[in-house]
């Protein structure tokens, strides 16, 4: 089955669509569940599917280092290797290798809070599910690619656009991302411009390799898709230039890289999506907070990925219609009621909330039981996946603004 995308309903910039892949259909807007090392942490693929997830994204950098992309290839490709029958994606690996460069150990983020102190000049994307204990910059960027050291054993490695694409083809997902340079939100304009230009050159190289090696069906149609990534930081002229150049290349879809103030995020997404070709999907990289879906979707984004739901779950932080709760708080020790509410404001119907009490989950966390992470992750992913599905339905019903106001009023307690 070849890759295709169809817009079913539009309202301003926002759209509800259908993304067809060889391993299933994705109803957009959609949240892409992150399975960094070919596993969604603490969950089986069957559990991930049961909570409503449509697509899983794995990490090129981590799978390259362990177990190795050729082992994934020989195991039948990502989906078969991890026993996930649905659509799959891989990032380019730049996400990690740049975070090990100039921004390593400086706790920088690709999305800056306004007024934050600059912590790194360049080289960070900032949404990895992994943290290294090595206290030195491990990556160096040049025109041809990136040289870096493994966080596992310190061994030297190198990614170029062609090598990133080769690894992604070995991993064998349905959708890939072109190799790009990620920058800190605090990088100066001159460096943002330089990195953006390099990203454009790397995009051409990624696309050339992909088109020569993509799998095709019996009719010669590609069965794998490549997304180009728009960069340019918080600067309107750079973002628009990048959207025009990347949008003019023959990509199957587009990623919107970070590196902007959180307050400006939706404006930046709007700038980009006003220029990108309308008939192709757009993925806003590394975004996962409930309120951010509304702003991203309202400005034309179709797909989102983030490790936040499972990362927060492992610390006992759970989403609810009235904001996040920390199940470790003392008040939950003797709370024999249901754990949390769903995105509709009613009692959550996920497996965890339907079968366990807040007191039991609180006990699991206090006792450091592994099941705690599993049950909390089921709830958080169910909440996020189904929140985005509800937003999609509100677009189809032409009730987006009403649903946005209702949800955000409850979520922020106003």
Angle formed at CA 161 by CA 157 and CA 167, multiple of 5 degrees: 65
DSSP at 332 = G
For the beta carbon of residue 222, count every other beta carbon within 10 angstroms: 16
d(CA 23, CA 1): 8
Q: What is the dihedral of CA 361, 363, 369, 373, to 10 degrees?
A: 30
d(CA 240, CA 135): 37
Q: List all residues 6 or more positions away from 276 whose beta carbon is below 8 Å from its beta carbon.
A: 230, 243, 246, 247, 254, 282, 300
d(CA 203, CA 243): 12
Closest CA to 283 of 160, 178, 384, 378: 178
How far lies 371's CA from each of 35, 129, 359, 368, in Å? 18, 19, 14, 9
What b/e string do you get for 95-127 counting C-beta neighbours within 10 Å, with b at 16 or more? bbbbbbbbbbbbebbbbbeeeeeebbbbbbbbb
d(CA 106, CA 119): 6
Residue 91 annotated to the active site: yes
Residue 112 preceded by cis peptide, ω within 30: no
Residue 237 annotated to the active site: no
Long-range contacts, stretch 275-279, CB < 8 angstroms, 24+ apart: 275/240, 275/243, 275/244, 275/247, 276/230, 276/243, 276/246, 276/247, 276/300, 277/247, 278/7, 279/5, 279/7
Q: Which of 69, 127, 174, 305 is catalytic?
A: 305
Q: Which of 69, 91, 180, 292 is catalytic?
A: 91
Closest CA to 68 of 54, 81, 55: 81
What b/e string do you get for 201-211 counting C-beta neighbours within 10 Å, with b at 16 or more? ebbebbbebbe
Q: Catalytic positions, please?
A: 91, 305
């Amino acid at each position: 089955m070849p890759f295709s995308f169809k817009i079913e309903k539009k309202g301003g910039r926002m759209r509800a669509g259908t993304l067809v892949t060889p391993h299933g259909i994705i109803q957009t807007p959609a949240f892409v569940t992150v399975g960094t090392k070919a596993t969604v942490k603490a969950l089986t693929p069957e559990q991930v599917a049961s909570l409503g997830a449509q697509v899983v994204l794995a990490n090129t950098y981590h799978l390259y280092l362990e177990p190795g992309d050729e082992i994934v290839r020989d195991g039948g490709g990502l989906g078969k290797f991890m026993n996930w029958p649905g659509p799959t994606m891989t990032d380019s690996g730049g996400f990690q290798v740049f975070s090990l460069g100039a921004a390593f150990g400086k706790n920088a983020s690709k999305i800056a809070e306004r007024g934050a102190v600059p912590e790194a000049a360049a080289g960070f994307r900032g949404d990895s599910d992994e943290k290294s204990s090595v206290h030195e910059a491990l990556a160096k960027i040049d025109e041809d690619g990136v040289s870096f050291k493994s966080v596992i054993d310190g061994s030297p490695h190198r990614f170029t656009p062609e090598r990133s694409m080769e690894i992604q083809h070995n991993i064998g997902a349905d959708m890939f991302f072109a190799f790009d340079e990620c920058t800190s939100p605090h990088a100066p304009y001159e460096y943002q411009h330089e990195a953006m230009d390099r990203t454009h050159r790397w995009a051409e190289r990624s696309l050339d390799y992909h088109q020569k090696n993509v799998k095709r069906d019996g009719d010669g149609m590609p069965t794998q898709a490549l997304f180009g990534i728009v960069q340019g930081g918080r600067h309107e002229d750079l973002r628009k230039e990048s959207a025009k150049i990347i949008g003019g290349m023959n990509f199957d879809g587009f990623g919107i890289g970070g590196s902007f103030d959180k307050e400006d995020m939706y404006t930046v997404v709007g700038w980009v999506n006003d220029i990108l070709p309308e008939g192709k999907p757009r993925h806003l990289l590394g975004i996962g907070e409930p309120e951010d879906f509304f702003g991203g979707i309202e400005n034309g984004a179709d797909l989102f990925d983030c490790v936040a739901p499972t990362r927060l779950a492992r610390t006992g932080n759970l989403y609810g219609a009235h904001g996040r709760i920390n199940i470790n708080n003392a008040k939950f020790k003797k709370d024999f009621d249901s754990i949390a509410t769903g995105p509709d404001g009613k009692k959550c119907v996920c497996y965890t909330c339907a079968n366990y009490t807040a007191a039991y989950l609180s006990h699991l966390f206090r006792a450091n039981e592994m099941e705690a992470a599993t049950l909390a992750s089921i709830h958080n992913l169910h909440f996020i996946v189904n929140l985005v599905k509800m937003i999609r339905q509100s677009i189809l019903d032409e009730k987006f603004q009403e649903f946005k106001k209702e949800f955000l009023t409850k979520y922020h307690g106003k």
